[in-house]
């Protein structure tokens, strides 16, 4: 792919050094004390900030890629979108110096635990940042604010599909600036800056916002970012509109493997395994290397802990009367049968079931255990962390069964693939009570460089 040349391209659009920026502290102080709009008069114009480029040699010259995802999308789909954007970043890096700014977590539809603060959550609460950085350069949003000189995003592209759809049989990758189809979720303030959700960082402003119709994989964005804009910070909103560059390829798996869960969450999961499931890495043959680049386990060599792992997705999956989701009775029957076949006495259940449903399941299956967070656990790990602990424990089971087309279950499949468990023990799902053709999940074989 042709792309604008290195240094020349990198420096485009940035005028001379300009006046020195006021200390960052002052800016942050200003934000805390004053209404943001009045704190930033003309003397704080974002152009200056960007041009002056704040601290540190690492920050010099590099461009920032930010993104966000359609608000209703859940945690696990968002993890998938990260893989697509990471792939785009790798493409950009072939030509220019870019860094990915990790979109803070928050305001997710499923994260409903009351009374806990679940917004502006940095990635490090859920994932191991040094591990992510062994795949691509990635920084937290607050680091972006600090090193780029303030909460300004020079260009926001809202991604959308083509209004006219596409004609059958004529698939082609394309991207064009088009009028916005949906109502724009950004509006101008009195200083002509765009305001929007921006992950709950109210002080963030966009300088330009436009809509791009896109049809294709993540890297169709690359020429636009390299050639059509000289903005130093570019945000792709609705990034789920980009497809995978190469789903299931080496590059996909590199990124996926780099998404190592935060250590403190793995520790909680491991302690639960020891305490309730008689499961340790030694006896389960599931050793884990802190450095994912050094981890390559032959499929089938890991044994897994002496328990059945279950992911039983309920709530909206049940309310939708989906044919491929079992009744609790049906699920309990299947669980019993699997425990017998695989000679497992213990069963771990991860579920988002409402209390009444959970009690019903417990009645049908008294021996089941699950990770029951205390209020303190919840406050500490948040709904996302609890989900990760559940996934981690399911990933270590000798045999796993999940729920049809749940991205939560899919992420467990991948984790088990990384751990090296036999695919036969992984790609299983519950069938609906009356489902005729109960097709089982596809095995996406792990690929290494
Ligand atoms: N702790 C825990 N949370 C769950 C479980 N199942 C679902 N959830 C919660 O419900 C959300 C389910 O949605 P996600 O899987 O993240 O979102 P999604 O991308 O819409 O995925 P699916 O709806 O499952 O395809 C998760 O993010 C969790 O917050 C579970 O077994 N344990
Ligand atoms: C990018 O620039 C090229 C060349 O000027 C133009 O043809 C194309 O339409 C632009 N693409 C977008 C998405 O703006
Ligand atoms: C725990 O597992 C070990 C094998 O790893 C086994 O020898 C032991 O009996 C188990 N203990 C219980 C209480 O099941």
Beta-carbon contacts of residue 300 (< 8 Å; ≥ 6 apart): 420, 421, 422, 423
Closest listed ligand to the CA of 279: 3
Active site residue 73: yes
pLDDT band at 107 (very low <50, low <70, confident <90, very high): confident
pLDDT band at 168 (very low <50, low <70, confident <90, very high): confident
pLDDT band at 7 (very low <50, low <70, confident <90, very high): very low
Nearest C-alpha to atom 14 of ligand 3 is from which residue? 278
Substitution candidate for ligand 3 out of 306, 346, 398 with most atoms within 8 A of CB: 306
Beta-carbon contacts of residue 4 (< 8 Å; ≥ 6 apart): 12, 95, 96, 226, 227
Share the mean pLDDT of the chain: 88
Residue 283 near ligand 3, beta carbon < 6 Å: yes
pLDDT in tens, 76-93: 999 999 999 999 999 999
Ligand 3 nearest-atom number relative to CA 306: 2
Catalytic residue among 7, 43, 73, 435: 73
pLDDT band at 10 (very low <50, low <70, confident <90, very high): very low
Closest listed ligand to the CA of 113: 1
Cβ contact 447:248 at 8 Å: yes
Mean pLDDT of 318-337: 96
Alpha helices in 96-199 (DSSP H): 129-133, 141-148
Cα first-last separation, the chain? 22
Check whether 18 has a pLDDT greater than 90: no
Residue 416 Cα, ligand 1 centroid: separation in angstroms?
Answer: 18
Domains of the chain, residue spans = 63-250, 261-425
Residue 74 Cα, ligand 1 centroid: separation in angstroms?
Answer: 7
Tokens matching residue 213: 């119709």
Mean pLDDT of 316-325: 93
Helix (H, G, I), strand (E, B) or coil at 433: coil
Closest listed ligand to the CA of 155: 2
Residue 431 Cα, ligand 2 centroid: separation in angstroms?
Answer: 48
Work out the burial of residue 447: count CB atoms within 10 Å of its CB; fewer than 13 is exposed, 13-18 middle, 19 or more buried: middle
Check whether 200 has a pLDDT greater than 70: yes
Mean pLDDT of 154-177: 90
| Candidates 3.40.50.12160, 3.40.50.11340, 3.40.50.620, 3.40.50.2300; CATH matching 63-250 | 3.40.50.11340
Residue 284 Cα, ligand 3 centroid: separation in angstroms?
Answer: 11
Rounded distance, CA 153 to CA 105, Å?
18
Mean pLDDT of 276-297: 96
> What dotted CATH number matches 261-425?
3.40.50.11350
Substitution candidate for ligand 2 out of 12, 157, 214, 228 with most atoms within 8 A of CB: 228
Question: What does the pLDDT read at residue 302?
Answer: 98
pTM, 2 dp: 0.87
Question: What does the pLDDT read at residue 116?
Answer: 77
Tokens matching residue 406: 């749940």
**Complete edge-to-edge strand list for the sheet that includes strand 305-312:** 346-351, 305-312, 397-401
The beta-strand segments (E) located in 293-432 are: 305-312, 346-351, 397-401
pLDDT in tens, 341-381: 999 999 999 999 999 999 999 999 999 999 999 999 999 99
Beta-carbon contacts of residue 256 (< 8 Å; ≥ 6 apart): 83, 414, 418
Nearest C-alpha to atom 9 of ligand 3 is from which residue? 278
* Pocket of ligand 2, beta carbon within 6 A: 175-177, 212, 224, 227-228
Same fold, 63-250 and 261-425: yes
Question: What does the pLDDT read at residue 60?
Answer: 65
């Amino acid at each position: 792919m042709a792309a604008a040349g290195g240094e020349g391209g990198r420096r485009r659009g940035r005028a001379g050094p300009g006046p020195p920026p006021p200390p960052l502290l002052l800016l942050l102080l200003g934000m805390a004390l004053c209404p943001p709009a009045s704190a930033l008069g003309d003397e704080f114009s974002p152009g200056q900030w960007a041009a002056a480029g704040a601290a540190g040699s690492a920050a010099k010259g590099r461009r920032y890629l930010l993104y966000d995802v359609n608000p209703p999308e859940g945690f696990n789909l968002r993890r998938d979108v990260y893989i697509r954007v990471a792939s785009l970043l790798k493409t950009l890096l072939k030509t220019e110096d870019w860094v990915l700014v990790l979109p803070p977590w928050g305001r997710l539809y499923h994260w409903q635990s009351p009374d806990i603060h679940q917004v502006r959550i940095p990635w490090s609460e859920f994932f191991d940042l040094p591990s992510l950085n062994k795949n691509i350069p990635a920084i937290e949003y607050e680091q972006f604010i600090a090193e780029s000189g303030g909460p300004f995003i020079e260009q926001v592209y809202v991604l959308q599909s083509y209004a006219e759809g596409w004609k059958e049989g004529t698939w082609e990758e394309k991207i064009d600036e088009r009028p916005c189809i949906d109502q724009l979720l950004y509006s101008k303030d009195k200083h002509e800056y765009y305001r929007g959700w921006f992950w709950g960082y109210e002080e963030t402003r966009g300088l330009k916002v436009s809509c791009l119709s896109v049809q294709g994989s993540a890297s169709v964005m690359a020429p636009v970012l390299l050639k059509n804009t000289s903005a130093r910070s570019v945000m792709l909103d609705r990034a789920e509109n980009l497809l995978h560059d190469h789903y299931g390829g080496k590059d996909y798996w590199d990124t996926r493997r780099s998404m190592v869960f935060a250590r403190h969450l793995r520790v909680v999961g491991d302690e639960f395994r020891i305490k309730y499931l008689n499961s340790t890495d030694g006896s389960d043959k599931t050793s884990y290397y802190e450095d994912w680049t050094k981890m390559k386990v032959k499929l089938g060599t890991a044994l897994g802990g002496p328990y059945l792992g279950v992911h039983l997705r309920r709530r909206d999956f049940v309310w939708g009367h989906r044919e491929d989701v079992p009744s609790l009775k049906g699920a309990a029957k299947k669980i019993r049968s699997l425990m017998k076949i695989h000679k497992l006495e213990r069963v771990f259940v991860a579920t988002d079931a409402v209390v009444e449903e959970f009690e019903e399941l417990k009645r049908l299956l008294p021996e089941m255990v699950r990770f029951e967070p205390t209020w303190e656990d919840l406050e500490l790990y948040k709904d996302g962390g609890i989900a990760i602990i559940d996934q981690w424990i399911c990933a270590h089971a000798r045999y796993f069964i999940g729920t049809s087309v749940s991205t939560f279950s899919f992420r467990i499949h991948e984790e088990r693939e990384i751990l090296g468990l036999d695919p036969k023990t992984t790609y299983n799902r519950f069938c609906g009570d009356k489902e005729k053709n109960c097709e089982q999940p596809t095995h996406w074989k792990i690929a290494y460089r």
